[in-house]
Structure 1
Amino acid sequence: MADLAERALAAANTIAVVGLSRDPAKAAHSVPANLQAAGFRIIPVHPSADVLLGERVYRSLTDIPEPVDLVDVFRPAAEAPGIARQAVAIGAKTLWLQQGIVSAEARRIAEEAGLDYVEDRCTAVVRALGRIRKN
């Protein structure tokens, strides 16, 4: 039976990536690129870029004009509670903190609002191990 992370990722189609990097050598770029190549719709969230991975960039989650299934976070743990609040505000189904990122407060915010919550896991690894594709 698949774990929560695998089920949440398999159920997602649109993923907002908070902290998607311009640098292709960083995981915050290569992981979302991997998800995009597997058929997920990626919506970058970045403070100053205009286009990343061929997609329009938004400054915050609340600026995104379409539904988001999963919020994938590549920002420091200290920023996670604020991102969790935005994820709740936009009606995301899952908040996912990437490998190495843990936040008890973000967990509390997400779970109290009914979101699935994953932390300290890599979406690309879960996708590969679960053989999850959208195309």
Structure 2
Amino acid sequence: MSNIARILQDSRIIAIVGMSNKPERASHEVADYLLQHGYRVLPVNPAIAGQEVLGQRAYATLAEAAAFVAPARIDIVDCFRKSADIAPIAEEAIAIKAGCLWLQLDVINEEAAQLARAAGLEVVMDRCTKIEHRNLALAA
């Protein structure tokens, strides 16, 4: 089993950083898909904090989202942000003891990845959770 397959199979709680409340945005589509496939999704975006997106309350920060699900942990921090914005998100993911820092398609930040790996997080870069889930036939 690949690392990606294991991560997706073992994870239940996914924080989507950069989540949009606009249905035409990729983050919204991915969140909807993940919800339909049994994952718990936590939207993280200060612009929509306190609102509901796809029936899920949005949080301003990863720390707020992590406090909400405690004592459970956020398994995957799924990042829909520019590559240049990832380092502080990686630091937050480390601080909340997330299991994986996942950077979406075209999001690559080696410095943030090294930081996360050094702290014990798994890292997936330049991959889409929805596409990977569907390709691995975990959708069954």
Give TM-score scaled by structure 2 length.
0.91
Pairs within 5 Å for 1:76-87: 76-87=82-93
Pairs within 5 Å for 1:99-110: 99-110=105-116
Q: Which has the higher contact order (CA 8 A, sep 6+)?
A: 1
1:48 equivalent to 2:37? Answer no
For residue 20 of structure 1, give the secondary structure of its aligned residue in structure 2.
Answer: coil
Distance 2:105 2:4 in 1: 12
For residue 43 of structure 2, give the secondary structure of its aligned residue in structure 1.
Answer: strand
For residue 24 of structure 2, give the secondary structure of its aligned residue in structure 1.
Answer: coil
Runs ≥4 in structure 1, deviation > 2 angstroms? none
For residue 108 of structure 1, give the secondary structure of its aligned residue in structure 2.
Answer: helix
CA-CA distance at 1:48 after TM superposition: 2.1
Structure 1 stretches lacking a partner, 5+ long: none
**What is the count of residue pairs matched by the alignment?**
133
1:74 equivalent to 2:80? Answer yes
1:33-57 CA-partner distances (Å, limit 9, x unpaired): 1011101000000112111111111
Structure 2 stretches lacking a partner, 5+ long: none
For residue 85 of structure 2, give the secondary structure of its aligned residue in structure 1.
Answer: helix
- RMSD value, Cα: 1.2
For residue 95 of structure 1, give the secondary structure of its aligned residue in structure 2.
Answer: strand
